[in-house]
């Protein structure tokens, strides 16, 4: 009898709550092997107890390259492969650009952009050797069209999407796939304990970033998105023969994308003549 193929291994960052936790639980329920990571692993230790032999819980702060290397090495020691990397760890930073402290800006990029990039760079040699793998990058609706007060948070996700779009083309010859997930508002702790606010608040921005902050406070706990259903949608996308380059989740994000595409198309048409005027004039045919 041939050996039974081993279940795929998912390495997921930011599993303490929300979408990361939902992803770990769903993958385990579907028979996958999961390495669930968090800065405070005690918060998710129950996952390993409930799924002995199929779930490994590890400490991981994605801003620490040594911890990333250790997590990847321990994953390989335990399971011998990494089939799906889910870059979910990250947090929001809210405030007008002038209100934010330099340290806040750098730290948000260190987690949301550089941390995710380092996870990919550490995992890729394994996936290239395997000639298979799937990178799942959790982005944000702020990339569809950004909000006042999310200049830096949105920028971290814009930068990450740009890197992953190029990377998808680089990795195609190795059989490695890539999916960027753009979730709308989901009922998680993102706009609660996971949201950092500007060091100061200026009255001049009360009608812009201040208004957006109050909106987030109002909708917290009433977001339409279900993390468990989002996890199922992401899982199904990974299993698809031709997974999407971008997966937009939730009616809010889908409607926002449609409106943004329409607005962008109208603006392009309105300014096409001005844009074309920037080229050298067409060469005149010789008589």
Active-site positions read 139, 153, 157
Q: What is the DSSP letter of 261?
A: H
d(CA 15, CA 78): 19
H helices present in 51-150, as ranges: 65-79, 102-109, 116-130
Residue 56 to residue 75: CA distance in whole angstroms: 8
DSSP per-residue codes, 206-257 = TTTHHHHHHHHHHHTT--SB-HHHHHHHHHHHHHSSS--SEEEESHHHHHHH
Give the contacts of 16 (CB within 8 A, at least 6 positions apart): 38, 39, 40, 43, 44
Beta strands at 195-197 and 133-138: parallel, antiparallel or unpaired? unpaired
């Amino acid at each position: 009898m041939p050996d039974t193929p081993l279940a795929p291994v998912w390495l997921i960052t930011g599993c303490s709550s929300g979408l990361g936790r939902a992803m770990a639980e769903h993958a385990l329920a579907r028979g996958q092997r999961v390495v669930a990571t968090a800065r405070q692993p005690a918060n998710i230790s129950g996952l390993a107890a409930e799924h002995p032999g199929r779930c490994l819980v590890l400490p991981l702060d994605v801003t620490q390259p040594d911890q990333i290397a250790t997590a990847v090495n321990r994953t390989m020691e335990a399971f011998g492969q990494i089939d799906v990397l889910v870059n979910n760890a990250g947090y929001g930073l809210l405030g007008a650009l002038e209100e934010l402290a330099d340290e806040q800006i750098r730290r948000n990029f260190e987690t949301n952009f550089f941390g995710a990039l380092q996870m990919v760079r550490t995992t890729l040699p394994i996936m290239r050797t395997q000639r298979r793998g799937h990178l799942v990058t959790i982005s944000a609706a702020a990339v569809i069209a950004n909000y006042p007060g999310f200049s830096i948070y949105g920028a971290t996700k814009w930068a990450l999407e740009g890197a992953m779009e190029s990377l998808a083309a680089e990795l195609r010859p190795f059989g490695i796939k890539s999916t960027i997930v753009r979730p709308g508002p989901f009922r998680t702790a993102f706009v609660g304990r996971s949201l950092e606010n500007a060091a100061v608040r200026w009255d001049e921005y009360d009608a812009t970033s201040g208004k957006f902050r109050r909106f987030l406070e109002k909708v917290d706990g009433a977001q339409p998105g279900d993390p468990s259903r989002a996890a199922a949608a992401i899982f199904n996308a990974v299993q698809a023969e031709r997974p999407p380059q971008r997966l937009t989740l939730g009616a809010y994000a889908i409607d926002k994308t449609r409106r943004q595409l329409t607005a962008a198309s109208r603006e392009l048409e309105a300014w096409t003549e001005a844009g074309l005027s920037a080229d050298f004039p067409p060469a005149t045919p010789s008589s």
